[in-house]
Structure 1
């Protein structure tokens, strides 16, 4: 009976991990260094202890010092990394650095692939997201009645049907676009990556911008890759410290409104914009994506007119079809990574 139970348990374990076996078939990954650290942040004295003071576990002053606005960073440096440009990969809304690690169906993600190609890779969690933590003060204030519930920030999170449309998997759930590159059978795994977005409770200027600039400076210059919500983050990081940002990759986001003075600074940094397929085909987001690419094309034109190197890589026009908003997880994700690395290699002088 014990033997049968073990066989059943082994079969269940094999089924549960079958989507992720591919990630272990890539051969040894030899690194010079790997680890994690925090950048940025500040200490504030705030309301943190709201438990029952009669309980010894909570018999402390209501206010105490905590760290806020910091950014967690995970990194890997290959043995040959000293001769290659570092990449900083920034995730979008409602996600974390997991975006760039193994794909939902277990294939190699951009983070590992770039390392295997010789690039040091740094993967942060945005300030207020995942391992970077967030400031809980306002929730404690509401609990104690010091602040009205209406003051609570809005939590942003993406559900399955919204993601299906926004990420352009099909016209509407559960339809699938012909030729789709996303591993749709792993949608459940993608759903598990979703994290509530607390950016609404951040200060007026998102601390992630300055934290990215500090990170780029710490690694002696890097290519910043932003996606979706964070597609414009590299621009603001560069305006904070342009000498540390060697290149910008902006993937399917809302391009910022910039002054001529800001354009002059950004024109010194090679910038690549990347858009996938089906931009005008999903039921709801087709009202958004064409405007997004038009706005970013206008930015390409301004950067080019100012003497900069900027290019719009609209993948179908380059003969690459079926890509979604989550192209770093698409079945041809490594082809897109090659496109990015090749463009940067030709246009960034390290």
Structure 2
């Protein structure tokens, strides 16, 4: 064989090999794959406590089960932990997800029954996502103030508060998996406070996050709902709020705070702010969601009855913000034909339907560019 013929044959074989590799590569790419351009984590906000004196690395350098001598030492605490992912071709406004009481960023991750949570569902819709563990919770557990963590059996209590049912029975129409493993996972995602529950500490840290990342949409759940109003009043980088079942701490202008609304075992109360601060809430679109199995009349079951009172307060708050020129939409899911949602619509069996509804609202408000 001549040298020219050998080179030609080798070239043809090489081209065929490249084409085969290219075809194999195309076959191996999952069209449903999430393509993440950047991801990472960081801490934001917080403070530093310094003890007087001078640190002695010899005298104080040995590990002591009783705890170190603090003289001359520092403690960094009260920060938030943030995990973020930015997809390819991300939209201009990220979503910042903030969990509720007794929870962490896990709220937005894989659902208790193993499906995709809002983290992935909105990455697929091309939003960058930032997931928070608020100060003194989860991966932000370093507190500057002491607390005692009680080991008290309480899971049937949370089963009722989160409106899965009336222990031990699920509600007949509930959008929560009946697989025992799902309930096992759900109970294990509950996490304690590692320091006192101090709202100003949480608001400062989340506001610092918006200072760092710039304009974004805040998505809150339950107890972070009231905290979210405070963040928006102090930080113009909050361009919209979506709040899933906010409870207490609705903010009204001074002189317009309604009377507390009683419920079985307690009362729903509101807070006040100067009118100038309150009006910041009228400058952004706000969406509230409430799920199913919330009674309209008083109930003897506190787990349900507290949400009757919170929803009643939310209606008053919507009216107050809109009366001052705001744009608050309150969605009661059963009233629009979406039934069975618990206190966790973002991880219920129909969470894709909830995500679709939310996405359409974001589109309507011009927040998806």
TM-score normalised over the length of structure 1: 0.80
Residue by residue over 1:299-350, the C-alpha shift from the partner in whole angstroms, topping out at 9 and shown as x without a partner, is 1111111111111010001110000001111000121122122212212457
- Which of 243, 247, 261 aligns to 2:276? It is 261
- In the alignment, which residue of structure 2 is the partner of 1:284? 302
- Paired residue secondary structure (2:243): strand
Contact 1:153–1:201 (8 Å) recurs in 2: no
- Paired residue secondary structure (1:341): helix
1:77 equivalent in alignment to 2:72: no
2:80 and 2:340 map into 1 onto residues whose CA distance is: 34
2:218 and 2:224 map into 1 onto residues whose CA distance is: 10
- Paired residue secondary structure (1:327): coil
- In the alignment, which residue of structure 2 is the partner of 1:218? 212
1:187 equivalent in alignment to 2:183: yes
Contact 2:141–2:194 (8 Å) recurs in 1: no
Q: Report deviation, 1:217.
A: 3.0
- Paired residue secondary structure (1:34): strand
Contact 1:33–1:78 (8 Å) recurs in 2: yes
1:187 and 1:26 map into 2 onto residues whose CA distance is: 32
- In the alignment, which residue of structure 1 is the partner of 2:237? 244
CA 1:60–1:163 in structure 2 vs 1: closer, same or farther (change >3 Å)?
closer
- In the alignment, which residue of structure 1 is the partner of 2:74? 65
- In the alignment, which residue of structure 2 is the partner of 1:90? 98
Contact 2:149–2:192 (8 Å) recurs in 1: no
The residue correspondences of 1:168-207 to structure 2 (distance < 5 A) are 168-170=163-165, 172-185=166-179, 186-198=182-194, 200=196, 202=198, 205-207=199-201
- In the alignment, which residue of structure 2 is the partner of 1:159? 154
CA 1:26–1:253 in structure 2 vs 1: closer, same or farther (change >3 Å)?
farther
- Which of 42, 50, 57 aligns to 2:47? It is 42
Contact 1:181–1:324 (8 Å) recurs in 2: yes
- Paired residue secondary structure (1:80): coil
Residue by residue over 1:22-77, the C-alpha shift from the partner in whole angstroms, topping out at 9 and shown as x without a partner, is xxx99421011011011111211249x9xxx8993239643320101111000000
- In the alignment, which residue of structure 2 is the partner of 1:33? 38
1:72 and 1:165 map into 2 onto residues whose CA distance is: 29
CA 1:275–1:130 in structure 2 vs 1: closer, same or farther (change >3 Å)?
same
Residue by residue over 1:84-137, the C-alpha shift from the partner in whole angstroms, topping out at 9 and shown as x without a partner, is 421011011111101100001110000111011000000010111011123265
CA 1:40–1:155 in structure 2 vs 1: closer, same or farther (change >3 Å)?
farther
Contact 1:94–1:156 (8 Å) recurs in 2: no
TM-score normalised over the length of structure 2: 0.76
2:51 and 2:60 map into 1 onto residues whose CA distance is: 21
1:155 and 1:292 map into 2 onto residues whose CA distance is: 27
Residue by residue over 1:238-270, the C-alpha shift from the partner in whole angstroms, topping out at 9 and shown as x without a partner, is 1121x2001011211224232233331110010
- Paired residue secondary structure (2:63): helix
Contact 1:166–1:282 (8 Å) recurs in 2: no
Q: Which runs of 5+ in 1 are unaligned?
A: 1-24, 139-151
Residue by residue over 1:221-248, the C-alpha shift from the partner in whole angstroms, topping out at 9 and shown as x without a partner, is 111111111112221111121x200101
1:118 equivalent in alignment to 2:139: no
Q: Which of 70-79 and 161-170 deviates more?
A: 161-170
- Paired residue secondary structure (1:127): coil
1:212 and 1:54 map into 2 onto residues whose CA distance is: 35
- In the alignment, which residue of structure 2 is the partner of 1:273? 288
- Output the aligned Cα RMSD: 2.6
Higher helix share: 1
CA 1:239–1:174 in structure 2 vs 1: closer, same or farther (change >3 Å)?
same
Q: Which runs of 5+ in 2 are unaligned?
A: 1-29, 254-274
